[in-house]
Amino acid sequence: MVDATHRAGGVIPPAEVPELELYHPKSWWTTYVFSQDAKVIAIQYAGTAMAIGLVALMLSWLIRLQLGFPGTFDFITPDAYYQFVTMHGMIMVIYLLTALFLGGFGNYLIPLMVGARDMVFPYANMLSYWIYLLAVLVLVASFFVPGGPTGAGWTLYPPQALLNGTPGGQELGIILMLVSLILFIIGFTMGGLNYVVTVLQGRTRGMTLMRMPLTVWGIFTATVMALLAFPALFVACVMMLFDRVLGTSFFMPALVEMGELTSHGGGSPILFQHLFWFFGHPEVYIVALPAFGIVSDLISTHARKNIFGYRMMVWAIVIIGALSFVVWAHHMYVSGMHPLFGFFFATTTLIIAVPTAIKVYNWILTLWRGDIHLTLPMLFALAFIVTFLNGGLTGLFLGNVVVDVPLSDTMFVVAHFHMVMGVAPILVIFGAIYHWYPKITGRMLNQQLGLFHFWVTFVGAYAIFFPMHYLGLVGAPRRYPELGGTAFIPESVADLNAFISITAFVVGFAQLVFLFNLIWSLRYGKEAGPNPWRATTLEWQTPTTPPPHGNWGDERPVVYRWAYDYSVPGAPQDFIPQNDPWPDKPLTRPA
């Protein structure tokens, strides 16, 4: 061990960075509703995201009803099917995953983990949530307008997104979708600035960047990426809104619709695709990096072992973040491009597998000879590793132009992206909720219900998405509400689809058990105590659980070590909290 204390003498010099002046709420409204406390905002974000996520879950049931039992349900017309698919995709990617990881976990964990009292700009943080809520409400409103929500697919490709044949294209659906996205981006920017600047400026003494838990690194890097990538979606949405409302032709080419020439002409749909995927690909990592970070912490804590290759893990996060901006066109191989571009984007796509693989190896090496406790967070973390690996490997298939072209419009792609950015991050979200719920509420979640939830979700997700790879390989196309009697598609595809649908209903119901557990344990869960997992990071060392506004009582903690001192030889316990000066004495304040 190297003593890294900056100034000898064992005395803390007076603070050069003043403590935050917190706004202390005076009424019920400002405490629980218009709260500026990052922890309350986190719960608001998470609650809203989960509520809208439930809508998306139900939409997926409707999609599966149609695919599993085509022709049985009259109310699922092709138009309705496309609306379900569009809203399911958009809600899950943006309004659930992004909002929950960054708005939910980011808000709750960043200030606690870096030893801050709150975010640096609490008021903007509060606004961020309310604008997000407004965005969600605008999105929900599109279900109730004439024509219903847009059915353009979650990628909203023009020109079809704005045409008569597409549900919501010439009605309000697409307008509300675009407005909702624009609002989301504005709200996110306010929150995102907070997360980044809090990590940069709000850390407590001794918390150097290289002592931060990987969770904070993951959320921090993802937020930086989101701040740079969301403007692309913003530009795309604004220009598309102009095309739709003001009759410009940024994206809309000249075309004949129902025998009549539309008023547009000369626009470039490819331009939209470039803008959309310039946001869309980083978005995958905006969701994945927080998951990477959280999973690292879960594995280390529940295997009672320091994370293997911490430095490498940090560098890999940063490098993945940078690389993810130069791979976007691999989503556009079938849109047509210069072969050299295809080659370039295939190469960068495959290169990004290197830092990602480093992370997977490091997780496995952390588990190697660890004291593995198969707690619920650990189970979900393990499930994440296999699922992410699975989805990542099919990504290598699709990253190559020649393999992607025949597979691109098949169910193989659906299987791939659900594995890698649907199931995998959701497993981490569950693991993280089981892990941090005791800190948030002071009570443990019920173990039996949790085990039931885990096994049904994990096995069920495989039963749903694994067969889809085969569906894709035999040529079953995606985006079709009904396959009909296509010659090359064997009849077994229909049976498999029915099987997948039934599994999907079961897995969906298991999520209701999880929700029940969340509510039931609030009251009847076992008392957790301040640090039930015997973890090292700062959020478990708060003087009170759940932590109050301001987090730390009179004094912010002082950090003496990194976040992964588990099973240190000679230490009194098998973990040493970050604010524990062992084997030295704590620094004292000058009198």
Partner 1 sequence: MSVVLVFLLVVIGFSFWWLSHQRIMSKPWLESGVHTAVPETDASGMATEKVALGVFLAVVGALFALFASAYFMRMEYSDWQAPPLPRILWLNTFVLMLASAAFSCAVRATRERHIALTRLALSAAGLGTLVFLAGQVTAWRELAAGGYFMDTNPANGFFYLMTGVHALHILGGLVALGRTTIRAWDPGAEPKRLTLGIELCAMYWHFLLLVWLGVFVLLEGWAGDLVTLCRQLLT
Q: Which of residues 96-125 bind partner 1 (CB under 8 A)?
A: 120-121
The DSSP string of 164-197 is TTSTTSSSSHHHHHHHHHHHHHHHHHHHHHHHHH
Core vs surface per residue 460-474: b (16+ CB within 10 A) or e: bbbbbbebbbebbee
Give min distance, CB of 196 to partner 1, in A: 5
Q: Is 148 in the site for partner 1 (CB under 8 A)?
A: no
* Joined tokens for residue 13: 């010099």
Give min distance, CB of 333 to partner 1, in A: 16
Give min distance, CB of 569 to partner 1, in A: 13
Of 196 and 493, nearer to partner 1 (C-beta) is: 196
Q: Is 385 in the site for partner 1 (CB under 8 A)?
A: no
Q: Measuring CA to CA, which residue among 589, 571, 562, 591 is closest to residue 579?
A: 562
> Cα 227–233–236 angle (5° rounding)?
145
Of 239 and 398, nearer to partner 1 (C-beta) is: 239
Q: Measuring CA to CA, which residue among 550, 590, 539 is closest to residue 20?
A: 550
CA 506 from centre of chain: 23
Cβ–Cβ under 8 Å, residues 88 and 56: yes
Cβ–Cβ under 8 Å, residues 435 and 533: yes
Choose one: 42-50, 263-271, 288-296, 420-428; the region binding partner 1 (CB under 8 A). Answer: 263-271
**Site residues (CB under 8 A) for partner 1, limited to 295-314:** 306, 310-311, 314
Q: Is 271 in the site for partner 1 (CB under 8 A)?
A: yes
Of 15 and 402, nearer to partner 1 (C-beta) is: 15
Give min distance, CB of 180 to partner 1, in A: 19
> Cα 83–85–86 angle (5° rounding)?
65
Of 21 and 74, nearer to partner 1 (C-beta) is: 21
CA 40 from centre of chain: 19
Give min distance, CB of 170 to partner 1, in A: 16
Q: Is 261 in the site for partner 1 (CB under 8 A)?
A: no
Choose one: 48-56, 342-350, 487-495, 575-583; the region binding partner 1 (CB under 8 A). Answer: 575-583
Work out the end-to-end distance of the chain between its first and last CA atoms, rounded to an integer number of angstroms: 30
Distance from C-alpha of 111 to C-alpha of 94, rounded to nearest angstrom: 23
Give min distance, CB of 164 to partner 1, in A: 19
The DSSP string of 438-499 is HHHHSBPPPHHHHHHHHHHHHHHHHHHHHHHHHHHHTTPBSS-S---S-TTS-THHHHHHHH
Of 238 and 506, nearer to partner 1 (C-beta) is: 238
Among 9, 47, 78, 247, binds partner 1 (CB under 8 A): 247
Among 182, 312, 326, 522, binds partner 1 (CB under 8 A): 326
Q: Is 55 in the site for partner 1 (CB under 8 A)?
A: no
Q: Is 202 in the site for partner 1 (CB under 8 A)?
A: yes
**Site residues (CB under 8 A) for partner 1, limited to 206-225:** 206-211, 224
Give min distance, CB of 332 to partner 1, in A: 12
Q: Is 573 in the site for partner 1 (CB under 8 A)?
A: no
Per rule CB under 8 A, count of chain residues that contact partner 1: 76
**Site residues (CB under 8 A) for partner 1, limited to 358-377:** none
* Joined tokens for residue 141: 């409103």
Q: Is 157 in the site for partner 1 (CB under 8 A)?
A: no
Q: Measuring CA to CA, which residue among 438, 399, 434, 402 is closest to residue 417?
A: 399
* Largest Cα span, the chain: 86
Q: Is 9 in the site for partner 1 (CB under 8 A)?
A: no
Strands 256-257 and 260-261: antiparallel
Of 245 and 334, nearer to partner 1 (C-beta) is: 245
Q: Is 334 in the site for partner 1 (CB under 8 A)?
A: no
* Joined tokens for residue 410: 């098949």
* Joined tokens for residue 560: 């003496």
Among 357, 584, 588, 589, binds partner 1 (CB under 8 A): 584
Cβ–Cβ under 8 Å, residues 173 and 146: no
Q: Is 351 in the site for partner 1 (CB under 8 A)?
A: no
Of 413 and 558, nearer to partner 1 (C-beta) is: 558
* Joined tokens for residue 343: 């080659």
Q: Is 3 in the site for partner 1 (CB under 8 A)?
A: yes
Q: Is 570 in the site for partner 1 (CB under 8 A)?
A: no
Among 98, 142, 150, 204, binds partner 1 (CB under 8 A): 204
